[in-house]
Structure 1
Amino acid sequence: MVGKVHDIPRSFPQIGPFMMLSAPPSATAETFATTFDLGIQGMRCASCVRRVEQSLLAVEGVQGAVVNLAAQTARVTALADTGLQERIADALRREGFKPSFALQNERKAHIRGNDGVGISSLSTIWAEWGQVALALSFALPLMLPMWASWLGWHLVLPAKWQFLLATHVQGLLGAQFYLGAWRALRRGTANMDTLVALGTTAAWALSTWLWWAEGASAHLYFESSAMVITLVLLGKALEARARRQTTSAIRALQGLRPDIAHRVGQDGEADVPVEDVRPGDTLAVRPGERFAVDGVLVEGHTQVDEAMLTGEPMPVDRGPGDAVVAGTVNGAARVLVQVQAVGADTVLAAVVRRVEDAQASKAPVEQLVDRISAVFVPIVLLLGIGTFVVGWGMGLPFDTALLRAVAVLVVACPCALGLATPAAIVVGTGVAARYGILVRDVQALEQARRCDTVVFDKTGTLTMGQARLERIDCAPEYDESSCLRWAAALQSGSEHPLARAVLDAARQRKIDIPPVHGLHAVPGKGISGAVEEHPYTLGSLAWAQEQGGSVPALAVEAALQQGHTVSVLWRNAPQGTQTLAVLAFADAVRPSAAPAVLALRSMGMQVRMVSGDHPQAVHRVASQVGIDPNATQSGALPQDKIAAVETLRQHGHGVIMVGDGINDAPALAAADVGMAIAHGHLGADVAIHASAITLLRDDLALVPAAIDIARRTTTTIRQNLWWAFVYNVVTIPLAMFGYLSPVLAGGAMALSSVSVIANALRLRRWRPPGLVPPAHSSPFHHR
């Protein structure tokens, strides 16, 4: 693909702060369907997710809503109008959640800052850990007598002090649970706050009653209520910290674009906000600075670190006429850039959109989780009440039966269920993006895990997509340099791929190219002209045969057998056509192709190839990369590629189609998973919108890597769900039968949600075999 950044199609027109999804041509702004993200603070568990989604869907004009507990965000699709934000904010605040629309105001640029929505600010972090520290200062003195008894010491804290310490925890730090429970009760639902509030209140009230009824000698349980609240707060603080780690990849991307640009005008350089830069402006970029826009270099030579976009560890050379993209890092030279795209139209914005879309998506299994979470808390409440009634009825002391019920209420954890899937998706898609693998949604991960066949296109996918002059077979009386010199002269004004191959070969051999006169091109056949006063023609084999030239059969046959494309150079002499040379061209195989095919086979995948090229060329490439010639198809038109994919699917195969995202778009769409290779950053935007998985650099090692991270992410989702279900299935009966005290139950509940996120965070250590991690300047290493 050849072109500038402005040639890349832009698929998302903007409407105010929103990104338009669809609208009839005659629609007004009030009828546009829009999608946008907003931050939501205060979500604690799967029940909260359900409440938020129900609240959003109840707002007039809202057509769809997907809530992400791990990222603390919601993606809303709605009919845009001037009062939409206010209605959404009011609906969420009535439910006790704090919405933030700050992200919308940045949507035009589609790049969030490091303090973006869904990421706790410094004050929020201090509030989380400040509450934990305060709760510990009240609760630890209550635990000292119990710990001392383990050492044989007898310590007794006066009941009055126990009451005061526990009441401070219950009334001040536990107020948030009462508030959340009340808001859920108003809607006729129950959530995690309900369980904590009821359980700790029961323990606190029991202790207060025993103190009042039996005096200072009574056995009190104030430490249970205080420590449960403390442990829940500690678990939530750890969980919030872990959630921030899961979103580090997207935050890194969002923070890449600089805020200030150096615009060059008639009066010299002037620093301006990036939002004020327009296409056509000229910007100066100093050594070590990030490019703020997509553009084309107009002055200066430099090296550009593109690790943030492609995962490529080494900087690449860029000079006048070369394209650069926003977020990449300039090397050691000052350069001038003509702006081609800004804000939401940049390749960086398209990459961010893709990662955000993947992290906002929901796996099919989450629908089951949503249904379970809707009845989970009510069932736990019934189990808690049943535990108390049955235990007391069977002769257990009142306080023992009540404490068992408290443990049941406290140990149940809907949080782990709610975090199991989104935490894995956020981490998995983030680490994949670090290596240049962009995933459209969780369905793409699930489908890639199930696929057993990979179908490659040839040209531009397994091969470089650039013709190369392999050999020149000259007539006995002529040498290669002379023939190449005449051929290069004929091709000096052409942009045809074969012409570029001839000119590149001449330059590599440092051959002076003479001028040409009277050029005449015959479409589909070749070109003729006068070089040094002699008429020469360079054309196809068929055209040479039409002209009656004697073409050396052995040279032609050898070239065709090797899968080469053949051109013939001849001179039109008075005595007839004189053949001078046969030129054989080939499209070089990518160095990463054979290792990638081998890696796919080791993963148990079948590998096939389909191409529009002639059989000899297809078989040559197949033999070089390790694909069985019987698993290839040549001469395939676009509709033939679609048919090949559909035939495999009809025979029960899950198919991944790998192509360039442009010519292969129909076949990519027909496959279970379309995997498009972006040919450098020029083709990134095209490939992103043409595929379920986009590979941002021309390294076929990314194909098995993408399948591997898909498998690992979906495996992590299943592990998390298994742990969340097993945890509740095991611990609730233990609490019912008295094997878990309220304090241990509180600790187990806090540990469950943290363990789910910790398991998801293991994906951050994923390293695809055969790939070098991005350089140190990659945003995934610096936040």
Structure 2
Amino acid sequence: MDCADCARHVEEAARSLPGVAAAQVSFASGKLFLVVENPQAEKELERVLRPMGYRLRPEGLRARRFPGPWPWALLTGGLLALAFLLTQAKPQWGTYGYALAALLGAFPLARRALAGLRQNPFSMQALVVLATLGALILGAWAEAAVVVFLFLVGEVLEAYSVDRSRKAIFALASLLPRRALRLEGEEVREVPLGALRPGDRVRVPQGERVPADGVVLEGEAEVEEAAFTGEPLPQRRGVGERVYGGSLVVTGSLLLRVEKAPLEGFLAQMERLAEEALLRKSQMERLVDAFSRRYTPAVLLLALFWGGVLPLFVGEFPRHLYQALALLLIACPCALVVSVPAAVAAGVARGARLGVLFKGGGALERLGGVRHLALDKTGTLTLGEPRLLRVEPLGLPEAEALALAAAVGVGMSHPLARAVRERAQGLPLPEARAHRGVPGLGVFAQVEGEEVGLVRPGALDLSPELARRVAALEAEGYSLALLVKGERPLALFLFADAPRLEAREVLEEVRRLGLKPFLLTGDGEAAALALGRALGLGPEEVRARLTPEAKLELVAALDREGGVAMVGDGVNDAPALARATVGLAVLEGTEVALKAADAGLMSLRALPRAIRLSRFLRRVVFQNIALAVGLKGLFLLTTLLGLTGLWPAVLADNGALVLVSLNSLRLLWARV
């Protein structure tokens, strides 16, 4: 399926069948997604699509032949060359040669046009066949053959470029090795990749790719993840750290415990998100679709008027008919229809290679236009792994306070709760139940019939003495949590979280791109300002003591003032991520944040690359639309003025199509 307009008609054909509840065609991936109420609907669909020139192929099975109607293009081109040579010797024989080349070349087009006549009577194939037959009737033998040949060559080039885009989208799976070294007892056996299961132990020697997502059990190595993070330098991985399937062990050797089956790991998730992104049309794509639906009928009516009505009043009938046939070739909106989805498909595929997983073309398109950048603090600008430095008891022994706080934080994913549990290892914990987390406030549990919480001090009314102590500690840059039973403070916990090494560099790069960054946090103002200074942010760019609701309001205000990209990783960031012009979730964060966001970031370094990629995409889309509309408009005018004929008209159509496709392919190799 190498025509975006044809994809639309396949979708309409599928939806019209009884037993099909829903159908959606992804032109970019060449896939048809069905919801069927009757198992026989799939067979019926295959029967309907086969005459249209399409066959259903199970997912995962790749076609191996060269794409496009290249045998017919070769045959027509050969006959065209032979006819030209015959014309030099015997002009009459050459005329027959041109006619034969035109008819043979038009045969596969006529077959496809007839098969899809009910769904689309004005397909490009039908228009080319009509123009070819009209040219033969008017005696333009050579021109008819050239029109068919150029159209077939254009279809081959279009199919090739679409095929390259699709291969780029699904190229990540090729990073996985075909076999793995699995430990069975003390023996190492080589097994097929599909034989690996979660819990298996595998050895990955130097120079080999990791077969599945896993955790390092033994060894240390430099691991390169450039193919799907965009990071050129290898990263050191050791015991307890996670590695992704498809990454390359550059130096050293690792023993891993498999966490996910190879075809269910991170690479598979990236491909799935990229494919889902192509099903969601961007605003520009919807506008182009709406325009193209009106463009073809308008030009066809013009052709009918020019060739059938105007000659009754002025001009010669053959000349006007010839010009009307040229208008038929200009009427097809293929280049315009494919201008946006081709660019979006290439952009989404390139984003996946750069460590950015866009969930839709709209997010990729919008990101380049935002003027503000809002970033969560913990886990986004910092490592998200705060360490508990000390406990200040407030009427409770330190060990007892630590055990009580750890019991409250059991099962909670909040970074501060994790830090408390790590510090309390080995201590006997009291029994706690009814655990719950309140975003922006803290975590709570029932202990011995009373509610105990580990909360943010700023959310409570504190005594003057305790408030002064909290303010002094926050001024030193600490993050604080208060252990309370009911409303009685029991202990104050002091945490420190280091900023990410790349955070300052990323913020400087974002500034150079013209965006104004803002740090958003629920922490106290002093701690937030201290981190802001370390990252090169001014006081006016730091927003502290924000509840999830306050974050949401601030993001909404920035959205109205020129658009905002929000970067976060936690549950409390989800409302703001969903409200932002574009929400970007750090993939190390929570699943709630990932679901609320429009895109996922493998690392913070991927953020500037995502912005530059979006801006490049916007330029390519506008170039594509200008090429498609400009060439059509130019040849529409020259055809009406009698300056150009049939073969320039088909060049205008196929030429624009090929140029748009090749221009979109630039995104696959964009250096951003």
TM-score (norm: length of structure 1):
0.69
Q: Which has the higher contact order (CA 8 A, sep 6+)?
A: 1
2:274 and 2:236 map into 1 onto residues whose CA distance is 28
CA deviation after TM superposition for structure 1 residue 520, in Å: 8.5
1:91 to 41, 48, 59: 48
1:453 and 1:673 map into 2 onto residues whose CA distance is 11
Question: Is 2:661 aligned against 1:767?
Answer: no
Question: Is 2:579 aligned against 1:666?
Answer: no
Say whether the 8 Å CA contact 2:215–2:243 is kept in structure 1.
yes
2:148 and 2:176 map into 1 onto residues whose CA distance is 42
Question: Is 2:526 aligned against 1:654?
Answer: no
1:565 and 1:343 map into 2 onto residues whose CA distance is 39
2:97 to 165, 175, 195: 165
Which residue pairs with 1:44 in the alignment?
3
Which residue pairs with 1:345 in the alignment?
264
2:415 and 2:519 map into 1 onto residues whose CA distance is 23
Say whether the 8 Å CA contact 1:724–1:752 is kept in structure 2.
yes
2:599 to 693, 698, 713: 693
Question: Is 2:225 aligned against 1:316?
Answer: no
CA deviation after TM superposition for structure 1 residue 351, in Å: 0.9
Deviation string 1:285-338 (CA, Å, 9 cap, x unpaired) is: 343332222222334333322223322222223334332222222344554332
Which residue pairs with 2:645 in the alignment?
741
Say whether the 8 Å CA contact 1:678–1:686 is kept in structure 2.
no
CA deviation after TM superposition for structure 1 residue 143, in Å: 5.1
CA deviation after TM superposition for structure 1 residue 175, in Å: 0.7
2:14 to 50, 53, 56: 56
Question: Is 2:657 aligned against 1:724?
Answer: no
2:554 to 628, 636, 644: 644
CA deviation after TM superposition for structure 1 residue 437, in Å: 1.1
Which residue pairs with 2:477 in the alignment?
563
CA deviation after TM superposition for structure 1 residue 400, in Å: 3.4
Relative to structure 2, which stretch is displaced further, 427-436 or 262-271?
A: 262-271
Which residue pairs with 2:460 in the alignment?
none
Flag the 1:464–1:285 CA change in 2: closer, same or farther, 3 A: closer
Question: Is 2:652 aligned against 1:710?
Answer: no
Which residue pairs with 1:425 in the alignment?
344
Flag the 1:141–1:747 CA change in 2: closer, same or farther, 3 A: farther
Say whether the 8 Å CA contact 1:470–1:585 is kept in structure 2.
yes
Partner AA of 2:123 in structure 1: N
Partner AA of 1:362 in structure 2: K
CA deviation after TM superposition for structure 1 residue 664, in Å: 2.3
Question: Is 2:7 aligned against 1:65?
Answer: no
1:285 and 1:591 map into 2 onto residues whose CA distance is 28
Deviation string 1:254-299 (CA, Å, 9 cap, x unpaired) is: 3222333333325944444333332222333343332222222334
Flag the 1:691–1:238 CA change in 2: closer, same or farther, 3 A: same
Partner AA of 2:202 in structure 1: L
Flag the 1:591–1:428 CA change in 2: closer, same or farther, 3 A: same
CA deviation after TM superposition for structure 1 residue 669, in Å: 2.2
Which stretches of structure 1, 4 residues or longer, exceed 6 Å deviation after superposition?
468-471, 494-502, 516-524, 556-559
Partner AA of 2:623 in structure 1: Q
Which residue pairs with 2:132 in the alignment?
200
Partner AA of 1:561 in structure 2: A
Say whether the 8 Å CA contact 1:287–1:330 is kept in structure 2.
yes
1:457 and 1:408 map into 2 onto residues whose CA distance is 56
Deviation string 1:59-84 (CA, Å, 9 cap, x unpaired) is: 3343443434444333x241465334
Which residue pairs with 1:461 in the alignment?
380
2:160 and 2:415 map into 1 onto residues whose CA distance is 54
Flag the 1:325–1:84 CA change in 2: closer, same or farther, 3 A: farther
Say whether the 8 Å CA contact 1:249–1:430 is kept in structure 2.
yes
Say whether the 8 Å CA contact 2:584–2:600 is kept in structure 1.
yes
Flag the 1:399–1:162 CA change in 2: closer, same or farther, 3 A: farther
1:279 and 1:585 map into 2 onto residues whose CA distance is 35
Partner AA of 1:689 in structure 2: K
CA deviation after TM superposition for structure 1 residue 722, in Å: 3.2
Secondary structure of 2:246 counterpart: coil
2:153 and 2:179 map into 1 onto residues whose CA distance is 40
Flag the 1:684–1:347 CA change in 2: closer, same or farther, 3 A: farther
Which residue pairs with 1:263 in the alignment?
182
Flag the 1:709–1:335 CA change in 2: closer, same or farther, 3 A: closer
What are structure 2's unaligned runs of at least 5 residues? 391-398, 433-441, 443-456, 458-467, 482-492
Partner AA of 1:563 in structure 2: G
What does residue range 229-240 of structure 1 map to in structure 2 within 5 Å?
Answer: 229-240=148-159
Say whether the 8 Å CA contact 2:12–2:119 is kept in structure 1.
no
CA deviation after TM superposition for structure 1 residue 459, in Å: 1.7
Flag the 1:362–1:721 CA change in 2: closer, same or farther, 3 A: same
1:302 and 1:517 map into 2 onto residues whose CA distance is 29
2:273 to 354, 372, 379: 354
Which residue pairs with 1:444 in the alignment?
363
TM-score (norm: length of structure 2):
0.80
1:414 and 1:498 map into 2 onto residues whose CA distance is 57
Flag the 1:625–1:320 CA change in 2: closer, same or farther, 3 A: closer
Secondary structure of 1:389 counterpart: helix
1:610 to 503, 520, 524: 520
What does residue range 59-458 of structure 1 map to in structure 2 within 5 Å?
Answer: 59-74=17-32, 76-79=33-36, 82-101=39-58, 103=59, 106=60, 116=62, 121=64, 123-125=65-67, 128-142=69-83, 156-187=88-119, 189-207=121-139, 221-266=140-185, 268-389=187-308, 392-393=311-312, 396=315, 399-458=318-377
1:458 and 1:715 map into 2 onto residues whose CA distance is 32
Say whether the 8 Å CA contact 1:297–1:324 is kept in structure 2.
yes
Flag the 1:442–1:278 CA change in 2: closer, same or farther, 3 A: same
1:632 to 537, 542, 552: 542
Flag the 1:647–1:698 CA change in 2: closer, same or farther, 3 A: closer
Flag the 1:142–1:411 CA change in 2: closer, same or farther, 3 A: farther
Deviation string 1:704-738 (CA, Å, 9 cap, x unpaired) is: 33223223323422332233223222212311221
Secondary structure of 1:65 counterpart: strand
Partner AA of 1:168 in structure 2: L
Count how many residue pairs are aligned between Structure 1 and Structure 2: 617
Say whether the 8 Å CA contact 1:300–1:333 is kept in structure 2.
yes
1:666 and 1:684 map into 2 onto residues whose CA distance is 13
Secondary structure of 1:297 counterpart: strand
1:325 and 1:356 map into 2 onto residues whose CA distance is 20
2:169 and 2:119 map into 1 onto residues whose CA distance is 35
Flag the 1:381–1:662 CA change in 2: closer, same or farther, 3 A: same
Say whether the 8 Å CA contact 1:311–1:436 is kept in structure 2.
yes
Partner AA of 1:90 in structure 2: R
Partner AA of 2:531 in structure 1: V
Secondary structure of 2:197 counterpart: coil
Larger radius of gyration: 1
1:383 and 1:499 map into 2 onto residues whose CA distance is 71
Say whether the 8 Å CA contact 2:224–2:247 is kept in structure 1.
yes
Say whether the 8 Å CA contact 2:22–2:36 is kept in structure 1.
no
Secondary structure of 1:656 counterpart: strand
Flag the 1:499–1:70 CA change in 2: closer, same or farther, 3 A: closer
CA deviation after TM superposition for structure 1 residue 752, in Å: 0.9
1:61 and 1:259 map into 2 onto residues whose CA distance is 39
Partner AA of 2:76 in structure 1: A
Which residue pairs with 1:546 in the alignment?
none
Secondary structure of 1:746 counterpart: helix
2:161 and 2:619 map into 1 onto residues whose CA distance is 20
2:359 and 2:30 map into 1 onto residues whose CA distance is 20
1:596 to 487, 506, 512: 506
Flag the 1:163–1:358 CA change in 2: closer, same or farther, 3 A: same
